[in-house]
Amino acid sequence: MTLAQQFGTPAYVYDVAAIRAQFRAFAKVFKAHHAKYAISYASKAFATVAMYQVAAQEHAHVDVVSGGELYTAQAAQFPMAHVSFHGNNKSEAELQQALAAHVGTIIIDNFHELDLLADLLKQQPARTQDVLLRVTPGISAHTHAYDQTGQTDSKFGFDVDSGQAKAAATRVLADPQLHLLGIHAHIGSQIFAVKGFVAAAKRLLAILTDWHETLDFTPTVLNLGGGFGIAYTDSDDPLPAEDFVAAILDTIAAADLPFATPAIWIEPGRSIVGPAGYQLYTVGSRKDVPGLKPFVAVDGGMGDNIRPALYQADYQAVPAADPHAEATETVRLVGKYCESGDILIDQAKLPHLEAGAVVAVLATGAYGYSMASNYNRNPRPAVVFAENGQAKLVVRRESYADLTKNDLSYL
Ligand SMILES: Cc1ncc(COP(=O)(O)O)c(C=O)c1O
Ligand SMILES: N[C@@H](CCCC[NH3+])C(=O)O
């Protein structure tokens, strides 16, 4: 029986061995460089109980960006000491939840949060909290504008050039309940060039050196974020994600630091789960107009993968029954949503597929399920983990009853 027959479509399928292999490839580079490290999986890319469990099995840390992600990690019994809590507008309730859960690290993003956290800790005088400061190092990554986060004009983090980052460090160091581990920067996502990461590493080391000299601060952690680009189609040719890390570690090793090299943390999301996942859809209607590219419609679309509509992201599809079948036509692979922009692949090269055929859209493991919606009241698809020849349902397909379970009658 095929996965589509067993679990229905649309469905997200993950090759768990590929997820594990990427965690291990990162770990291998760190070990080869004799670096102290943490691989903190950016769980926004794909956050489910099963995924937090796999991350824990791989001895990874995770980063969470909301109370909901933290709750899911707790539900998965993920070790809280290995959780970093991110976010540019953490609420008081979220900070309370993080403190109650004893998350390992809170990554402070702004002065408002710093005040909130300091006040909450005063109510528990015996407690301290490890923190990192997220800084905006003023480095622009070459990627989609919505995927840039390291430039000065960003909503994330303390600005370095204006002195805000140092002012924040001064306040944290003066607070006996906050234990400053070091700094964090994330320059963006789906980045192909190493040079932004190398520049960021140098800039962060310069900041830490300044803080060492002027604030008498010795860092124990330098967190360089994630953002390593992946191949979505055959025309993408990124470096293996672990090679970005090797370049970062070489840069750090070459630096002449006045303190012992801190532990290096990274936060890969997309590179861990993106290539490992694909989506299965069933072909339905087809519209052929002479002189126009045909529309081939599938049973999902922008509700389960918003990335083409949001970032003009490209994907590639293959027939699930015969992934290597020769392409004989170029079609628009569209979804079933009531939007003209609901185009999964604008130029899908496929053999002629009849209604009922199952098509696989590749490399959809990151920011697909996690950004899915119920637009048009479509239930979110099932998620399946495949490993060692076994396939296991790890997220049930939503039912129509799930769609109305929070609706209240107005009669
Ligand atoms: C702070 C932070 N860390 C890590 C990531 C993960 O990025 P990616 O999935 O590109 O590796 C993001 C998302 O861009 C982020 O904002
Ligand atoms: N959701 C984005 C990346 C996330 C950026 C998170 N800071 C994407 O699919 O490309």
Atom of ligand 2 nearest to the CA of 149: 7
State the distance from the centre of ligand 2 to the C-alpha of 252, rounded, in angstroms: 26
Question: What is 3-10+277-364+368-398's CATH topology?
Answer: Lyase, Ornithine Decarboxylase; Chain A, domain 1 (2.40.37)
Q: Which ligand is nearest to the CA of 186?
A: 1
Binding site residues for pyridoxal 5'-phosphate, as ranges?
227, 267-270, 367
Residue 355 half-sphere exposure toward CB, CA atoms < 13 A:
4
Instruction: Work out the average pLDDT over 337-363.
Output: 98
Structure tokens given for 85: 């809590």
Instruction: Work out the average pLDDT over 18-28.
Output: 98
| CB distance 164 to 110 below 8 Å | no
The one-letter amino acid code at 85 reads F
The DSSP bridge pattern shows strands 61-64 and 277-287 to be unpaired
Candidate list 81, 253, 338, 355, residue with the active-site label: 338
Q: At 144, is the pLDDT very low, low, confident or very high (cuts 50, 70, 90)? A: low
Structure tokens given for 73: 């990690």
Query: How confident is the model at residue 215, as a pLDDT?
Result: 98
Asked if the 33-272 domain carries CATH number 3.40.50.2000, the reply is no
233 closest CA partner among 336, 308, 309, 154? 308
Query: How confident is the model at residue 147, as a pLDDT?
Result: 64
d(CA 239, CA 200): 18
Query: How confident is the model at residue 142, as a pLDDT?
Result: 66
Query: How confident is the model at residue 388, as a pLDDT?
Result: 96
Atom of ligand 1 nearest to the CA of 366: 9
Q: At 229, is the pLDDT very low, low, confident or very high (cuts 50, 70, 90)? A: very high
What is the residue extent of each domain of the chain? 3-10+277-364+368-398, 33-272
| CB distance 270 to 226 below 8 Å | yes
d(CA 103, CA 330): 49
Q: At 154, is the pLDDT very low, low, confident or very high (cuts 50, 70, 90)? A: confident
Atom of ligand 2 nearest to the CA of 42: 6
Q: Is the pLDDT of residue 182 over 70?
A: yes
Q: What percent of the chain has pLDDT over 70?
A: 97
Name every protein residue with a CB atom under 6 angstroms from any ligand 2 atom. Answer: 44, 147, 149, 189-190, 307, 311, 367
Binding site residues for substrate, as ranges?
270, 307, 311, 339, 367
How confident is the model over 190-205, as pLDDT tens digits? 999 999 999 999 999 9
Query: How confident is the model at residue 152, as a pLDDT?
Result: 75
Least trusted range by pLDDT, from 47-61, 150-164, 190-204: 150-164
